[in-house]
Amino acid sequence: MAGGYDDRDGKIWMDGRLVPWRDANVHILTHAMHYASSVFEGERCYNGTIFESRKHSERLLASGAAIDMPIPYTVDEIEAAKYQVLEAMGLTDAYVRAVAWRGAGEDMGVASQRNPVRLAVAAWEWGAYYGDAKMKGAKLDISKWKRPSPETIPSHAKAAGLYMICTMSKHAAEAKGCSDAMMFDYRGYVAEATGANMFFVKNGEVHTPDPDCFLNGITRQTVIGMLRDKQIKVHERHIMPEELESFEQCWLTGTAAEVTPVGQIGDYSFEVGALTRDIAQSYEKLVRS
Ligand code: PMP
């Protein structure tokens, strides 16, 4: 059994080289610790190949640019780092976490022009994100926190600051026996879960929120492509909360979540139906092909 995430055997790639897992540390006056100047990626490796690896590396660089934090590595260098870590860890099926942040340096105020932008990559074995929800359907709470307007924060970046309300939402959900929370956006439309996008089924057609103020997940885009290949109509649009009652099926998509059926959101119930199962299976097949 592995220990805490800071107390494991293995190697982590940090700023260009592999270091022992327990030595992959930062100073307490790291800018990111105080001001959330950090962006990251969550990726999954299947049979030795990271699914959509380059897209994740490109998104990491785009997230850095979006928070005015250029990351001093190329996509090719990040790709090499990820596979170097997997090899050093002896892993072929793993979760891969790349994280870039403003380190400690000359600056300790809000501005951070003089501090280095750093990059690390770690990989570990990580099973189903929602435990047995994959079979039964996850139970979701409804968060009191809203996805913020793109005028408030770079809402398309996979940036640490955007996850503060996600952690709070998820803790509140877990206290009610739920495995995640659905969040509305700043206008009141259905948005996403705390680390996954959402899909709904009604009369054989699929409806998914327009990602105009939250992450347009790589899994989401993959699943939309799969649905269209199966000649299933997909509506990307604004979804009102009162529509939840009329949807028959619901699932979540995300690198960690993969395709996870949802059985309940607040007082609304959904069946784990044929289309949900079909998409979950097709996704599983695709990532291993
Ligand atoms: N929304 C949020 C807030 C997330 O953290 C994630 C996971 N990265 C997603 C959506 C899904 O994105 P992806 O499919 O690219 O993993």
Is 56:71 a contact under the CB 8 Å cutoff? no
CA-CA-CA-CA torsion sign (271, 181, 142, 171): positive
Q: Are 110 and 141 within one domain?
A: no
The domain of 192 spans 133-287
Q: Are 201 and 116 within one domain?
A: no
pTM exceeding the 0.95 threshold for the entire prediction: yes
Considering the domain boundaries, does residue 1 fall inside one?
no
Q: Are 185 and 46 within one domain?
A: no
Q: Are 99 and 224 within one domain?
A: no
CATH number at residue 85: 3.30.470.10
Structural domain count of the chain: 2
Task: Report CA(63)–ligand 1 centroid distance (Å).
Answer: 13
Q: Are 175 and 277 within one domain?
A: yes
Is 263:149 a contact under the CB 8 Å cutoff? no
CA–CA dist 8, 278 (Å, integer):
37
pLDDT tens digit sequence for 171-212 = 999 999 999 999 999 999 999 999 999 999 999 999 999 999
Relative to the CA of 255, which ligand 1 atom is closest?
A: 16
Q: Which residue, chain included where needed, has tokens 């990580």?
A: 126
Q: Enumerate residues lining ligand 1, CB below 6 A.
A: 42, 158, 192, 195-197, 214-215, 217-220, 253-255
Q: Are 264 and 203 within one domain?
A: yes
Among 52-66, 116-130, 157-171, the least confident range: 116-130
Considering the domain boundaries, does residue 258 fall inside one?
yes
Q: Are 161 and 242 within one domain?
A: yes
Q: Are 276 and 144 within one domain?
A: yes
Q: Are 247 and 139 within one domain?
A: yes
Q: Are 183 and 269 within one domain?
A: yes
Q: Is the pLDDT of residue 235 over 70?
A: yes
Task: Give the closest residue (by CA) to ligand 1 atom 5.
Answer: 195
Relative to the CA of 218, which ligand 1 atom is closest?
A: 15
Q: What is the mean pLDDT of the chain?
A: 97
